[in-house]
Amino acid sequence: MLKDITIGQYIPGDSFIHKLDPRTKIIISILFIICLFIINKFIGYTFVVAFLVGIILVAKIPPRFIFNGLKPVFLLIALTAVLNIFMIRGTADTLVLKIGFLSIYEEGLKLAGFMALRLIFLIIGTSLLTLTTSPIELTDGIEKLIRPIGKEMAHELAMMMTIALRFIPTLMDETDKIMKAQKARGADFESGNIIKKAKSLIPLLVPLFISSFRRADELAMAMEARGYRGGSGRTRMKVLRFTYKDTIAFGVFLVLVLWSIIVRFIF
């Protein structure tokens, strides 16, 4: 399951989505998250589904890869849905089922489904950003967007954010290897209650922290050996420029924004 985490992973490609300016994809991703919270009706998600499916098809991202990326957060989605089902109260006319002291109302079922869809679309939308944008492009895009706060600070913040994002799948892979090594030595991570399972994960922390510090030290030495000195006087092989493709992408996304506003304030 750890290998199914898609955040931070990049799938190389030559599609229309891959060729977009990283700033375009970052801005659209931020606005996409805002649109998800603006929409307050199920009908509003019709354009969201069409938008995400269109990106997946154009970028040629394997659908199975997207679905596998939801597995690590399935428990969170299910827990959110269950809490909404049993915690939301309605009227006597909307009572669907009563089990002892637990009551399920129509309002709870609707809100549970709505929140589950919102989390699913949020995860898929943010994952598509890293799946179609290389770490270098992501760094350059973030640096350009936050440059008004200061050139040096913008580069350092962008580099730290990108390295942290990039090392998520690396650390997950390292955790998976350590778990397999511990299981080969007789460790049990699956039996027992939640507290026992949590305690069984403690032996993973020490080797994982040691591995993380070692990787950080190796990365620092590699950057220093290559003459890395931050953003001062730094040039780029590919200079970021907005093209007609970015205009098309913003135009298509504008339809989703307008639809979100219509659903929220008119329907």
- Asked if 20 contacts 246 with a C-beta cutoff of 8 angstroms, the reply is yes
Range of the domain at 157: 2-169+238-265
181 found inside a domain: no
11 found inside a domain: yes
Q: What is the mean pLDDT of residues 57-80?
A: 82
Give 4's pLDDT tier (boundaries 50, 70, 90): low
Q: Is the pLDDT of residue 83 over 80?
A: yes
Q: Is the pLDDT of residue 257 over 60?
A: yes
18 found inside a domain: yes
Q: What is the mean pLDDT of residues 185-212?
A: 75
Q: Is the pLDDT of residue 2 over 60?
A: no
Question: How high is the mean pLDDT of the chain?
Answer: 80
250 found inside a domain: yes
Q: Is the pLDDT of residue 263 over 70?
A: yes
Q: How many domains is the chain built from? A: 1
| 142-177 confidence digits (pLDDT tens) | 878 887 776 667 777 777 777 777 777 777 778 878
User: Which token pair is 3?
Assistant: 């290998």
- Percentage of the chain exceeding pLDDT 90: 10
Give 235's pLDDT tier (boundaries 50, 70, 90): low
Most confident of 58-62, 165-169, 176-180: 58-62
- Match 């329907």 to its residue by tokens: 267
208 found inside a domain: no
256 found inside a domain: yes
Q: Which of 50, 207, 215, 223 is nearest to 121 (CA)?
A: 50
Q: What is the mean pLDDT of residues 106-135?
A: 86
145 found inside a domain: yes
211 found inside a domain: no
Q: What is the mean pLDDT of residues 120-134?
A: 87
pTM of the model: 0.75
User: Which token pair is 97?
Assistant: 């089922």
